[in-house]
Structure 1
Amino acid sequence: MSNSCCLIGAQFQGVGARINLVPQGWQLNRGANSPWRAMEQEWGEAIIDGRKVVVDMDVIYPPSAGSRPESFVVRWTVGGVEAGDRSFLNQAGA
């Protein structure tokens, strides 16, 4: 099962336009132990603490040029210090 999910969520002023929406596996973004959600919560806590969060994200599409990304590579800094580097597989049904 897939959802159309924002790469940068609305809570971070991510745009609602199609450029910010991609199909993501349900558990990646919305499951009880969602790694994507945990990453966003980390960003949110840093912002609440008054620290600046800067995100760099690579959306990797399959060589067959399908419309569903196969993975995401996300790097971020908090307060100017490298804070995270995560890779996420975007599996159908996951």
Structure 2
Amino acid sequence: LMSNPDLLLLDEVSLGLSPLVVDRVYASLQGLISSGTTIILVEQDLNRALSVSNKVICMLEGRIVLAGDSKSVSRDEVTKAYFGLHRKAAGGVPA
């Protein structure tokens, strides 16, 4: 971070950390975002990710299955997209 990057790719920043440390990490992320750094965050803690994100992209099997503004995408939509519940089986019934 000393080189003031324009873009950071972060994968599972909360994995294995205590809740106190996770709070500090996300406070730092918010500061980086406010300073103009773009962050691509891969995170399974959906609530935390949504709290700092502008956009959500949900991928399943290498394909984008949901994309939108983080303020308008619901947790339910992300869950359905992530678990493939949006797919249609034969006859138009969800798979």
Which TM class, normalised by the smaller chain length?
A: under 0.3
Higher relative contact order (CA 8 A, sep 6+): 1
More helix as a share of residues? 2
More strand as a share of residues? 1
Give the TM-score taking structure 1 as reference length.
Answer: 0.26
Give the TM-score taking structure 2 as reference length.
Answer: 0.26
> If you compute each CA radius of gyration, which structure gives the higher value, 1 or 2?
2
